[in-house]
Structure 1
Amino acid sequence: MTDQITNRVQANELNRGQPRVAADAFVLAGRPLLPGVRLADTSRFGDDVWHLKHAQVQRQQSSLVMNFEQTPERFRQTAKETVYTLMVGDLPPGCESIRAIVTIRGYWAGLQTVLVWMAGSGIPAVSAITSADVEAFARHTDGLRISQDSRDAYHRALRLLWLCRTKISDPLAFDPAVVVAGLQQGKSRSVTRRTRENATDRIPEQVLSPYLVWALRWINDFADDVIDAHDEWRQLNRWASPSRRRRGQKHVGRHQVGRLVGRVLNRYRAEGRPLPGWQGEVNLSHLARESRVERTSLGDGTPSGSMIREAAAELGIADATYLRTPVRGLLDGEPWRGPIEYTEVEHLTRMLQAACYIVISFLSGMRDSEVKHIKRGCVTVWRDEDGHIVRRRLTSLAFKGESEETGVEATWIVNASAQRAVEVLERLQPARRRSLFALLPPSRAYIGQGEKNEARTTSATNADMVAFGKWINAYCHQTGRDETVPLVNKQDWKITTSQFRRTLAWFIARRPGGVIAGALQFRHLRVQMFEGYAGTSDSGFRDEVEAEDAIARGEKLGDLIISHEFHSLRGPAAGEAESRLAEFERNIQFHGKVFNDEKRLRRHMNRYDPHIYPGEYVTCVHNPDRALCRPSDGAEGPSLPDCQPLRCRNVALTSDNIARMREALAAYGHKLAQGEHLAPLIRHRLETRRQEIADFLATTAGTGDHRD
Structure 2
Amino acid sequence: MEPGSTGSRPGRTARQDPLETVPEALREELRHLGWLLINTPLPASFLIGKPSRWRTTVSPGQVYATVAHWRAFCQWWDERGRSSLGECTPEDLRAYALHLGSDRGVPRAGVQKALAALTRMWALDSSNPFPTGFCEPPWLSEGADDYLPAGSPAGENTTEPITPETMGPLLIWALRVVDDFADDILAAVKRKDEILAKVNQTIPTPEGLAALKDYLGRLIAAGAPLPSMAEESRTRLAATYIAYLTGASVSQVYSQVGMGPWREHLLAANGPAPILTGLSGTVDGVPWKEHIDYSEVRALKTHLATAA
Smaller-chain TM-score bracket? 0.3 to 0.5
Larger radius of gyration: 1
Normalised by the length of structure 2, the TM-score is: 0.47
- Greater RCO (Cα-Cα under 8 Å, separation 6 or more): 2
